Structure 1
Amino acid sequence: MILQLRHQPTAAERRAEHILDSRTRALARRGAAAGPPGALSPPLLLCALGGDSYALPLDAVLRVVPAGPVTPAPGQPPAMLGFFGRAGQVFVLLDLGLALGLPAPAAAPGPAGHLLLLRGGLRRFALRVDRALGAPGPLPLAEAPASGGLAGAVLTPAGLAGLVDLPRLLRPFLPAAPAGPSGNPST
């Protein structure tokens, strides 16, 4: 009779094996969630709203500033917090979470947080976020359906972040096109 000795893993070895298996599964899921190999976003700015992360095209952001005094705009949609002045320019201030259709924060938005001043257009806009996290550059695109003001998602080191579609998000806050002589909007 041949006696075989089997190595019984210690608790530390079992824990290490469990961690490696978990990481392997997570990496496999991450690769499956990404788009085609090499599909990267343009350079992005990541920001936080509550416990979630969102990304905006970096070239659309003029500057990130600490939140400051806001002039209220009564009678406007809840997402429009009012007007914010900076360096002689007036920005329409929107709460990014409310504009995306997220529930209102538990506490009223105050001066805490950051404002993302967007590059000009027909109107200048600023978005209030809880915190600007940084600009990691291009990130892998993830398979996620576009909905509301989101164009999809990107994979960050911390997990998924919603990719904000700025033209779609800002469209409801732009002035209506003036009507031409025929009553149709002019082009």
Structure 2
Amino acid sequence: MEREQQDEIKNAISHLIPHMDNKWFKETMEKVQASTNKKVPYFSGQIPPGIAYMGVNSHGTSYVYEIPKSKIRVKYHDVAIDDVGHPRLLAIYKLKGEKVASMKLVAVKENEPIHDLMDVYRYPYAHVFANGSVCWSGYSGFTKDTLPHIAKMFLSTSNSNHGVEGCLKLYKENEGKDFDDSKIIPFGSLEELL
């Protein structure tokens, strides 16, 4: 096949993919792969250290890090509050080149294996929007090598009531206690965030 024909096919496919049925597309790709010996790579490259899960789709690659359910020292307007109960958390990053392009933080139920269809819940405290995106411009300066540490840095930054009314009251209610998972609010599946 000539280069010009290859470019025309690539152009046609790139315009059709957003309108295709995912199940049909997957089945078609599997049939094509079965009929040829040509290897089609979906992902190759270095996986960042400490990764708990990775999602690769048409919107890019998402790297997921787990923060176990724990008690964390937080700051409210620069005043430290020790041992505030937090649910199990997932930090989800997308990269542009080597730099972090987006960061989301969500809560998940304790002990559930991480998978695409698992339920995710709103982070219960401040500075995280309803869609899971963090309100913290600081993450944009970080690189792939620092992914395991970014969420913990975010959790240690000073907070206010931004995004959650009565955040100080929530901190005080959960000080010295394990977080009660029945209080987290569902908003979708992990797959929707990858």
TM-score greater than 0.5 by the shorter chain: no
Considering fraction of residues, name the structure with more helix.
Answer: 2
Normalised by the length of structure 1, the TM-score is 0.24
Kindly indicate which of the two structures has a greater share of residues assigned to strand: 1
